[in-house]
Amino acid sequence: MNADKFIQIQNVEQTFKTAKGLFPALRDIQLNIAKGEFVALIGHSGCGKSTLLNLIAGLTTPTHGVLLCANREIAGPGPDRAVVFQNHSLLPWLTCFDNVYLGIERVFGKTESKAQLRARTDAALAMVSLSHAAQKRPGEISGGMKQRVGIARALAMEPKVLLMDEPFGALDALTRAKLQDELLEIVAKTQATVVMVTHDVDEAVLLSDKIVMMTNGPAATIGEVLHVDLPRPRSRVELADNAQYQQYRKAVIDFLYTRQGHVEKAA
Amino acid sequence: MVSAVFHSPRSGHASSARGASSNRPAAATAAPSRPAGRDWRPLWMAVLPPLIGLGLLVGLWALVSSLTQGSIPTPYETGLQAIDVFSDPFYRKGPNDQGVGWNVLMSLERVAMGFGLAALVGIPAGFVIGRFDFLSRMFNPLISLLRPVSPLAWLPIGLLVFKGANPAAIWTIFICSIWPMVINTAVGVQRVPQDYMNVARVLNLSEWKIATTILFPAVLPYMLTGVRLAVGTAWLVIVAAEMLTGGVGIGFWVWDEWNNLNVKNIIIAIFVIGGVGLVLEYALIRVATAFSYEDVKS
């Protein structure tokens, strides 16, 4: 298996049936993602970023084209490709512990003892520094904490790929920065392959190895791919006045606002 | 179907946290005017308006009573009679003369039987109708056709099939309480947020695990709304059904006292029916709030 082509997206096209007829969401998507790579999908609202992520997750199947993960066709969702949802999607009737345990039990339940499963759950919550909230329900904790539980649930399954759909979009700037730093640490530790949908330019440049910039929908496609060659570990404070960082940032902004700026017309 | 249930602002305060937060500004504005000592205003607001409402009812009743020259008994007379009735609620002087306690209990038993059977059939039916589009399309026309039918129209069918007044009354309760439970459960299943189902799919949960950890808890609030509506309707219908079928029961009691021209007892019965309905409704609201969870999207 070629490590550079861990996830392969070939000629993918996605069309939705709507009340007004067929809606072409994506066309001609060609993308390879290497093992351990951090990829950000960025673009304006409605450009099909989330659609592409759902295709990789296997939640939807493409109208045309093929998606491969580790040389096997993605036929449906599975715990090897964990998803962190935009609105965290924790089950409100379960405690944080049980929410995380649910995934762990599914993946490791057949091979490990209950005590081991519980230890894994505790470790996952500790990783996102939420051990103290383990017995709380999602309704009793803040938005940032919920998102961290969502990340813990996804990471605890030790997925090959971590898919994140605007995971920090609903959070305030300070919480978001803190979680981004935590995510950088976790990803460095676990060497996970990550695909993250975002509309935040700084987030994309700070976190990614590769930024995939999408054109405006309908029938959106990949406009440009930017490789971010900043050394890791990255510190947001040091990068703030790094000339290279500013260049990457400008390149993305230039794409989003100069070349794909006519978002009102498209929407 | 969406349930339309009347809530006074106060009952909202008691049952939901949202109501509590909206009440806080009123208490806060009252506090500065009386910095020392206890603030009695919330207590007054809780007690006074309901008392005035009740007083209005009694006043109106007394007015009607005096206008009809006493063919509608006065509140005072009825009150005396009520003391008499309630002092011995469990007497038995033959099949048609039993205490009000027995009558209420017999009615409640019929409601419980009919309602329990309806829950046994209706809730699972609601689950499968909500889960499978084919079944939903198959049963929706039937439900739409049968639901508007007055439950009492089913009473003759019940009498014919079951050859007895008591099973026929239970059958009527069954018919009237099954629809809200089927419909609300089905709607609940259909409205399980796609996010939860996506979680289930990503985690690759088994169908059993999906049913127990996602579907059932997500549907529970809808189901309980259905149960509440069903119990409310059942309690409405039992009175009418018993008037027709006879036997011991609060509905029969009303009809019997009408034949005896004992209007005081009829008025007492009205209050008893109202009181029991209130208690049933309140109990189910308490159950429902215990099983409601904060929406994840908030």
Does position B12 have pLDDT exceeding 80, yes or no?
no
**What is the arithmetic mean of pLDDT over B245-267?**
87
In this complex, do A91 and B295 lie within 8 Å of one another by their Cβ atoms? no
Secondary structure (3-state) at B98: strand
Q: Is A15 within 8 Å of A25 (Cβ atoms)?
A: yes
Smallest Cβ–Cβ distance between B294 and the set A82, A89, A139 belongs to A139
Nearest-by-Cβ selection for B201 from A77, A87, A102 = A77
Nearest to A200 by CA among A208, A191, A188: A208
φ/ψ of A39, rounded to 5, equals: -115, 135
pLDDT digits (tens, 9 = 90+) for A40-96: 999 888 788 888 999 999 988 999 988 988 888 888 888 889 999 888 789 988 999
The answer, for B203 touching chain A at a CB cutoff of 8 Å, is yes
B204 to chain A, any CB pair closer than 8 A? The answer is yes
Q: What is the pTM of this model?
A: 0.70
In chain A, the residue whose alpha carbon lies closest to the alpha carbon of B295 is A92
List of domains in chain B: 9-72 (no CATH), 87-290 (1.10.3720.10)
Compare CB distances from A77 to B195, B204, B297 and report the shortest one's residue.
B204
Our CA-based measurement puts residue A231 at a distance from the nearest CA of chain B, in whole angstroms, of 33
B62 shares contact with chain A (CB less than 8 Å): no
Of A77, A90, A139, the CB nearest to B202: A77
Three-state secondary structure readout of chain A: CCHHHCEEEEEEEEEEEECCEEEEEEEEEEEEECCCCEEEEECCCCCCHHHHHHHHHCCCCCCEEEEEECCEECCCCCCCEEEECCCCCCCCCCCHHHHHHHHHHHHHCCCCCHHHHHHHHHHHHHHCCCHHHCCCCHHHCCHHHHHHHHHHHHHHCCCCEEEEECCCCCCCHHHHHHHHHHHHHHHHHHCCEEEEEECCHHHHHHHCCEEEEECCCCCECEEEEEECCCCCCCCHHHHCCCHHHHHHHHHHHHHHHHHCCCHHHHC
CB-CB under 8 Å, B293 with A137? yes
Say if residues B110 and B249 touch (Cβ distance below 8 Å): yes
- The 3-state DSSP class for residue B92 equals strand
- CB atoms B201 and A79 under 8 Å: no
Contact B293 A78 (CB under 8 A): no
**Residue position matching structure tokens 């409704």:** B281
Mutate to test the interface with B, among A54, A55, A74, A93 (most CBs of B within 10 A): A93
CA nearest to B194 within chain A:
A89
- Nearest-angstrom CA–CA distance, A256 and B60: 72
In degrees to the nearest 10, what's the CA dihedral of B114, B117, B118, B119?
120
State the best of B195, B199, B206, B223 to mutate against chain A, taking most chain A CBs within 10 Å: B199
pLDDT, tens digit, 9 for 90 and up, residues B215-237? 888 898 889 889 999 999 999 99
Residue B99 pLDDT class (50, 70, 90 cuts): confident
Whether residue B296 has pLDDT greater than 50 = no
Residues 209 through 228 of chain B touching chain A, CB cutoff 8 Å: 209, 213-214, 217
Asked if B203 lies within 8 A of A89 by C-beta distance, the reply is: no
Q: Which residue has the higher pLDDT, B244 or B89?
A: B244
Spell out which residues of chain B touch residue A85, defining contact as CB-CB under 8 Å: 195, 198-199
pLDDT in tens, B138-152: 999 999 999 899 888
Residue from B216, B290, B293, B212 nearest A102 by CA: B212
Q: What's the mean pLDDT in B187-206?
A: 88
Q: What is the pLDDT along chain A (267 residues), one digit of tens a residue?
A: 567 788 999 989 988 888 888 888 888 888 999 999 999 999 888 788 888 999 999 988 999 988 988 888 888 888 889 999 888 789 988 999 999 999 899 889 889 999 999 999 999 898 888 899 999 998 889 888 898 899 889 888 888 899 999 888 877 888 888 888 888 888 888 888 999 999 889 999 999 999 999 988 788 888 889 999 888 888 888 888 889 999 999 999 999 888 877 655 444
Contacts with A, B 238-257, CB within 8 Å: none
Contact A93 B196 (CB under 8 A): no
- Top-confidence residue, B9 or B186: B186
Q: For residue B193, which residues of chain A lie inside 8 Å, CB to CB?
A: 89
Are residues A89 and B196, on separate chains, in Cβ contact within 8 Å?
yes
- Quick check: B56 pLDDT over 90? yes
Residue contact B205–A106, C-beta within 8 A: yes
- A197 Cβ neighbours under 8 A, 6+ residues apart: A40, A41, A42, A49, A50, A52, A53, A164, A165, A166
**Residues above pLDDT 70, as percent of chain B:** 85
The tokens for A44 are 């304006």
pLDDT at B155 > cutoff 70? yes
Distance CA B296, CA B195 (A): 10
ipTM field:
0.80
pLDDT at residue B57, rounded to an integer: 92
Which chain B residues are within 8 Å of A89, Cβ to Cβ? 193, 195-196, 198-199, 296
Instruction: Give strand pairing partners of A67.
Output: A9
The shortest C-alpha distance from B33 to chain A (Å) reads 34
Contact yes or no for B203 and A59 at CB 8 A: no
The count of CB pairs under 8 A between chains A and B is 61
Interface of A with B (CB under 8 A): 57, 59, 76-79, 81-83, 85, 87-94, 102-103, 106, 137-139, 146, 157
Q: Is the pLDDT of residue B17 over 70?
A: no
For residue A106, give the nearest of B196, B204, B297 by CB distance.
B204
Query: Do A94 and B213 lie within an 8 Å CB cutoff?
Result: yes
CA distance linking residue A126 with residue A191, whole number of Å: 18
Instruction: Report the residue from A77, A92, A157 with minimal CB separation from B296.
Output: A92
